[in-house]
Amino acid sequence: MTRMLAGAIGDGVFKVVLGAAFLVGGARFGDLLGAPTWLLALSGAALLIGGGIEAAYVRRRPMATCLRLMIAYDIGWVLASAGALVLAWQGSTAGGELWTAYLTAAPLVLAALLVGAAATPAPTPVRPSAPDTLAP
């Protein structure tokens, strides 16, 4: 297993663990983030599903595809986090909701794109070329 593959699987596993934490501790996280418990529960379920699909499909898809999708996901996470911080600095309580909403939608989009991506083709056996019988 390469480091990139291990990292990609770890990314999916992290989402699963975070999703479980949101489901188990939704009320506590909701208080910390200023988001309703139902949104944390929904986000937890989305993270469990998305992370599980990501961990399962990363072996079946070209690593370049997985990396592009994970980079796009992480850029979105940074932008959502920055937006949430700006809202929090302005005294709004919508920052936690924005961040949690991103964590609800983005893993499902990532999972759908991974499932829809072309599978890595199975290696074809190399056959020796047939002797040239037409040559004199």
Lookup result for tokens 């037409």: 134
Q: What pLDDT, in 10s, does the model give residues 83-128?
A: 999 998 998 889 999 999 999 999 999 999 988 887 766 556 666 6
User: Which of 25, 53, 55 has its CA nearest to residue 40?
Assistant: 25
48-79 burial, b for 16+ CB within 10 Å, e for fewer? bbbbbbbbebbeebeeebbeebbeebeeeeee
> What pLDDT is stored for residue 16 in this prediction?
95
Q: In whole angstroms, what is the distance from residue 67 CA to residue 65 CA?
A: 5
User: Which of 86, 99, 83, 121 has its CA nearest to residue 40?
Assistant: 99
Q: What pLDDT, in 10s, does the model give residues 37-67?
A: 999 999 999 999 999 999 988 888 888 888 8
> What pLDDT is stored for residue 48 in this prediction?
95
pLDDT at 130 over 80: no
> Over 28-40, what HEC string results?
HHHHHHCCCHHHH
**Would you tell me how many other CB atoms lie within 10 Å of the CB of residue 108?**
15
User: Which of 131, 113, 100 has its CA nearest to residue 58?
Assistant: 113
